[in-house]
Amino acid sequence: MLRLSPRQVRISAMTQPFHPPQRILLGPGPSNIDPRVLQALVKPILGYLDPLYLDCLDEIQSLLRSVFETENRVTLSVSGTGGSGMEACIANLVEDGEEVLVCVNGFFGQRLAELVQRWGGKPIRVEAEWGQPLDMERVRQVFKDCKARLVTMVHAETSTGMRQPIEELRSLRDIRDAILIVDTVTSLGAHPVRIDRNEIDASYSCTQKGIGAPPGLSPVTFSERALEKIRSRKSVCRSWYLDVQLVDKYWSSERVYHHTSPALMNYALREALAMILEEGLEARWRRHERNSRAFVAGIEAMGLKMLVAPEPRLWTLNAVRIPEGVDDARVRSRLLNEHNIEVGGGLGSLRGKIWRVGLMGAGSTENNVLLLLSALQKILPQEGFRIGASGASAAALALGS
């Protein structure tokens, strides 16, 4: 009998089809995807200049404008995850030596500050404790005292579950002609962003959270004011791949080749955006709010506490404080192995202190809320936490109905 070596056995295993399990994804992203969106991923690939594919891209732009709530002509998807959109905004708008006011109260605010520095800018940081809102009066004072024209803010801070009042940023224009850059990675498609109403000049998001598509694309939008600043740069944008003026030439009527567009990802994005508008933006926002409030009611009925106060709390990302004496990694491992549920752990200074529970897109459902609450009710007493006498599921149902 022929005997295979250990290496041959490994190679044989790797040549078999990969069959991942169907998880319940309730972490910070990706979120589960509707079957209609998944079906788009198995449609025939078209060439990046095929007229029918270009029609698809035009439809994506129109749909994105509706979801971003903007009339910006340059509204498209950048190839790459949300980080590519973040880098596209910073690389195009920040010039060498330019001061940039960066609002920081979480992991992704810190990342913005780092990117500003990497692209030659000088970040002027306005900080708050992670999980606490920024003092907007202090933001205004720091902006007044510095020379910055660019201002960045994370609308939905994925590391903490905190929502920032981006609608207050436009008041900075009473001081100086500000260019406002906003991270909507964990809010677009699930929270109101109102780009035009809030006078935001540049924004980026991702596809795998509130939008409900697979990871791999980053929707971005640029106002005419932002584009004027980009066109008047003293030096060319150093990123060729993320140069918005080059990317726009492919997405616009010029159709100048830039890179091989990821057809299947854009098919999926188109379907996800269409489903958002079929549901209706306001109805979708209400669904996310309702399910988040129901989850929080169940969590608090068990005696657990949330990191963020009710008013600035996100609907998409719910940060639950880990009770003292309870092992973070062990609980998350048991949720995954025993209940097939994924939740996220804390980042940075909140590592081991919170669970990050995502209720986003197709994953924001009453059934998912009840499944997670039921699993926690089973696990936590076995991990040394005495849960409250109130029924978590009953509390969730009462508030979610």
Burial of 255 (0-12, 13-18, 19+ CB in 10 A): middle
pLDDT at 1: 59
Place of tokens 């940060």: 319
Dihedral pair phi/psi, residue 319, rounded to 5°: -95, 115
Which residues are within 8 A (CB) of 353 and not within 5 positions of it... i.e. 6 or more apart?
A: 321, 322, 328, 346
Using CA of residue 381, residue 383, residue 386, residue 390, what is the dihedral sign?
negative
CA atoms in the 13 A half-sphere facing the CB of 42: 4
Asked whether the beta carbons of 54 and 177 are under 8 A apart, the reply is: no
Q: Give the right CATH number for 280-400 from 3.90.1150.10, 3.10.180.10, 3.30.70.360, 3.50.50.60.
A: 3.90.1150.10
What is the average pLDDT score of the chain?
95
Residue 389: the pLDDT is 63
Write down the pLDDT at residue 390: 63
Vertex 119: Cα angle to 115 and 123 (nearest 5): 60
Cα separations in angstroms, 207 against 26, 82, 317: 16, 8, 15
For position 14, what pLDDT does the model report? 76
Domain spans of the chain, in order of start: 35-278, 280-400
How much is the pLDDT for 70? Answer: 98
Task: Determine phi and psi for 126, rounding to 5 degrees.
Answer: -115, 120
Do 193 and 68 contact (CB within 8 A), yes or no? yes
Q: Report the alpha-carbon distance of residue 7 to residue 118 in Å, rounded.
A: 43
Q: Tokens at residue 164, please?
A: 């920032």
Q: 180-237, pLDDT tens digit by residue? A: 999 999 999 999 999 999 999 999 999 999 999 999 999 999 999 999 999 999 999 9
Q: Which amino acid would we find at residue 364?
A: S
Dihedral (Cα; 33, 284, 277, 193), 10-degree rounding: -100
Q: Which two tokens stand for residue 349?
A: 């200074």
Name residues of the chain where pLDDT drops below 50: none
pLDDT at 395: 60
Q: What is the pLDDT of residue 387?
A: 87
The architecture that CATH gives domain 35-278 is: 3-Layer(aba) Sandwich (3.40)
- The whole-number pLDDT of residue 396 equals 62
Angle between helices 263-279 and 281-301 (to 10 degrees): 80
